[in-house]
Copies of this chain bind each other. A is one copy, B any other.
Amino acid sequence: MIFDVVARDYASAARRGLLRTPHGTVETPAFIPCATAGSVKGLVHSQLADLGTSIILCNTFHLMLRPGVDIIDRQGRLHRFIGWDQTLLTDSGGFQLFSMSELAKVSEKGIAFSSPWDGRRMFITPEDVIDMQVKIGADLIVSLDYCTPYPATRRETEKQVDLTAGWEKRCIDAFRNRTDSQDQSLAGVVQGGIYPDLRRESLTRVLDMKFDTLAIGGLSVGEPRDAKLEVLDSLAPLYPPALPRHLLGVGTPEDIIEGVRRGIDLFDCVLPTRNARNGMLFTTKGKVRIKNARYADDPAPPDPDCRCYTCRNFSRSYLRHLFLSQEISSSTLNTIHNLYFYLDMMAEIRESITLSNFEGFARRFLAGLEVEAVSL
């Protein structure tokens, strides 16, 4: 993986870059759609490619449980198994381990948990997480971290930063000792909850271990928005320029803009795809909840200014009908629109950085989001 910064904004830490992997080039700042179990929910890959997606994320935790790492390995690793020929990222599975398995028990050695499907008791070590992700074979992989929940006391958070550092050391050692991970890049994860000094300590320890990529974890776990921004503010001056920075699991359009402003290059989140399936459409003039009765007879597209397939061809009236009829195409059309919105926003962000006018873009864009769709 090669990362080059190609433009910087003058008035903020925003930067534009090119991330080159064995499976193509990702323009950053980038939004990474989530293909949890190997498929972006609601779409087939050709629709993703039509949207201009150059990278997707799959979840190690889900793939480990089904179809299992061995099948993916035998089928020629993940790109071949799912039929996606552009860049792939897998997460460590840590976040899902904590959030989906109520009985997860953590020790220095690893994580004991119950399968959320059949209750089977399982145990996973940092070395396992690397072994699985190498076998799965995504271009970008992530080391195991202890995702600090919110709220957590300072003392708990200190322990979690320690635990994370220990796990990450074992991850990078395991990764470097493999001969079959040559084409992959490994991210270290910064934790530390809402405590800026613990975050900085965690960052220092991650940087010492010489990861290929930097990931910031635990900033989409319910913490107050101000605390999140304070953490990002405190980290921004400390990032080495050469490493790409991935803000894990973030977020809303507003959060992405705040992240870019603070030097983040990569974002991933289920929000645009999940909200699409729930009938919530993002537009540059506010959110459209498509089941709302006010749209029953509305011949306008979700966003008259949007050029996505959905907005060029379909009315709110029809989209509301599809949603109420629980048609599969409702999920598909809404997902196409929301991902187009996100990807178009990222393209505008990149362009504004080239023009060194990111703040101008951000001001205009954020003002638009506050307008209620009813006024369209």
In the complex, chain A residues 334-362 whose Cβ is within 8 Å of any chain B Cβ:
336
In angstroms, Cα B67 to Cα A130, docked, is 52
Within 8 A of B (CB), among A24-62: 37-46, 62
Within 8 A of B (CB), among A60-77: 62, 66-67, 71, 74-76
Chain A contact residue count (CB 8 A cutoff): 42
A332 interface residue per 8 A CB criterion: yes
Interface flags for A166-197 (1: CB within 8 Å of B; 0: not) read: 00000000000000000000000000000000
Chain B residues near A83 (CB, 8 Å)?
313-315, 318
Check B329 against A39 for contact (C-beta < 8 Å): yes
Digit string of A311-339 for contact with B (CB within 8 Å is 1, else 0)? Answer: 00111011011101101111111001000
For A297, list chain B residues within 8 Å (CB).
71, 74-75
Contact B66 A313 (CB under 8 A): no
Report the separation of the CA atoms of residues A320 and B71 in the bound assembly, to the nearest whole angstrom: 12
Q: Which residues in B have their C-beta under 8 angstroms from that of A42?
A: 328-329
Once A67-B296, A76-B299, A328-B331 are accepted as A-B contacts, the answer to whether A38 and B322 lie under 8 Å apart by CB is yes
Partner of A317, one of B75, B309, B318, B320: B75
Q: Of B38, B71, B315, B318, which is within 8 A of A296 by CB? A: B71
A318 touches B82 (CB 8 A): yes
Whose C-beta in chain B lies nearest to the C-beta of A322? B39
CB-nearest residue of chain B relative to A299?
B75
Query: Complex formed: what's the CA distance from A315 to B78 in Å?
Result: 12
Q: Which one of A66, A317, A318, A330 has the greatest number of beta carbons of chain B within 10 Å?
A: A318
Nearest-neighbour CB distance to chain B for A316, whole angstroms, equals 10
| B321 & A67 in contact (Cβ 8 Å cutoff) | yes
Interchain nearest-CB distance for A136 vs B (Å): 13
Across-interface contacts of A10 in B (CB, < 8 A)? none
Is A81 in contact with chain B by the CB < 8 A criterion? yes
Which of A43, A44, A336 has the most CB atoms of chain B within a 10 A radius of its CB? A44
Question: In whole angstroms, what is the CA distance A37 to B297 when docked?
Answer: 17
Across the interface, A71 reaches (CB within 8 A) one of B41, B62, B317, namely B317
How many Å from the CB of A314 to the closest CB on chain B?
5
**Which residue, of A75, A299, A320, has the highest number of chain B Cβ atoms within 10 A?**
A75
Contacting pair B37 A315 (CB below 8 A): no
Q: Complex formed: what's the CA distance from A336 to B43 in Å?
A: 13
Distance between A211 CB and nearest chain B CB, rounded to angstroms: 30
Which residues of chain B come closer than 8 Å to A38, judged between CB atoms? 318, 321-322, 325, 327
Contact of A329 among B43, B74, B327, B333 (CB under 8 A): B43
Partner of A309, one of B37, B46, B62, B81: B46
26 sampled A-B residue pairs with Cβ under 8 A: A38-B318, A38-B321, A38-B325, A39-B328, A39-B330, A40-B329, A41-B327, A41-B328, A42-B329, A44-B309, A44-B329, A44-B336, A62-B325, A67-B296, A67-B321, A71-B317, A71-B321, A75-B297, A75-B299, A75-B318, A81-B315, A82-B318, A83-B314, A83-B315, A328-B328, A328-B331
Closest 4 CB pairs of A and B: A39-B329, A67-B321, A37-B325, A83-B313
Besides A40-B329, A66-B325, A83-B315, 7 more A-B contacts (Cβ < 8 Å) are: A38-B321, A38-B325, A38-B327, A39-B328, A42-B328, A71-B321, A328-B332
